Amino acid sequence: MLTSGASAGLHYLLSSLVDHDGFVFIDELAFMLTFGILKQFTGMQVIPVKMNDDGVDLADLEQKIQRANYLPKTQASSSGDVCKGVINIARKYDLGVICDDVYNLLHYGDEIPKRLYAYDSMEDSDYKGNVISNASLSKPISPGMRIGWYEVPPRVKSVLSSKGMLVSSGGFCNFTMSVLASMFEMGIAQSHIKLVRETLAERMRVTVKIL
Ligand SMILES: Cc1ncc(COP(=O)(O)O)c(C=O)c1O
């Protein structure tokens, strides 16, 4: 499902899936504007969860959970063990986990970092579908395009697509989505993403060298 970027995507998820007097647990180190979006939902209680070097502190997360939705900063930086731990907790309490997956396409090595979404495998006997990937093309294409996308479990897809806003409009930004589809068909988007990855990798190497 396409969105008009991760910020609008998050707002729509919060307004569609979370009780307006509910709880949101969030990595204590998160994208600053996420807090601005959360602030608009004045009834929700936002509870920060401690972070360790390898991701969220699972013990702290579990301790703080009563009725919650959990917003990880980005799973690109979390270890496999932490990701598995988050999935176990999400399944145990049947929580929604919204991932701010904005940087995944900008990995610099050959191996693509596994997102938390991939750990919530449908093959598992206890699969329910707890993880939502809220991704964006703002970094690899352009923030001005205002295009992002969700990858969601089936039970979430039916809820999101049944809300009045989407039923009425048929999409978040239909014209821009068609422009982007043409860019992919013509190969322009792919070559741009390649250029952005190479440029940012070079900048990263220079920055690391200076530091
Ligand atoms: C970590 C992170 N999350 C979310 C966003 C928002 O992305 P979008 O431009 O798709 O709304 C940004 C944009 O800078 C970001 O850096």
- 34 CA to centre of ligand 1 in angstroms: 9
Q: Ligand 1: which of 31, 32, 103, 200 to mutate, judged by most atoms within 8 Å of the beta carbon?
A: 31
For a ligand 1 pocket test, name from 2, 7, 73, 145 the mutation site with the most ligand atoms within 8 angstroms of its C-beta: 7
pLDDT in tens, the chain (211 residues): 999 999 999 999 999 999 888 899 999 999 999 999 999 999 999 999 999 999 999 999 999 986 566 666 555 567 889 999 999 999 999 999 999 999 888 888 788 889 999 999 999 999 999 999 999 999 999 999 999 999 999 999 999 999 999 999 989 999 999 999 999 999 999 999 999 999 999 999 999 999 9
Instruction: Quote the pTM value.
Output: 0.91
Per-residue buried b or exposed e for 28-54, using 16+ beta carbons within 10 Å of the residue's own CB: eebbeebeebbeebeebeebebebeee
**CB neighbourhood size of 186 (10 A):** 10
**Which residues have C-beta atoms less than 6 Å from ligand 1?**
5-7, 31, 100, 102, 136, 138, 143, 148
H or E element that contains 125: none
Q: How far does residue 6's CA lie from ligand 1's centre (Å)?
A: 6
- Using the mean position of ligand 1's atoms as its centre, give its distance from the Cα of residue 35 in Å: 12
- Ligand 1 centroid from CA 138, angstroms: 7
Q: Where are the domains of the chain?
A: 2-172
Q: Which own/partner pairs from 204-207 qualify as long-range (CB within 8 Å, at least 24 positions apart)?
A: 204/108
CA distance 169 to 165: 6
Q: What is 2-172's CATH number, 3.40.50.300, 3.20.20.70, 1.10.3720.10, 3.40.640.10?
A: 3.40.640.10
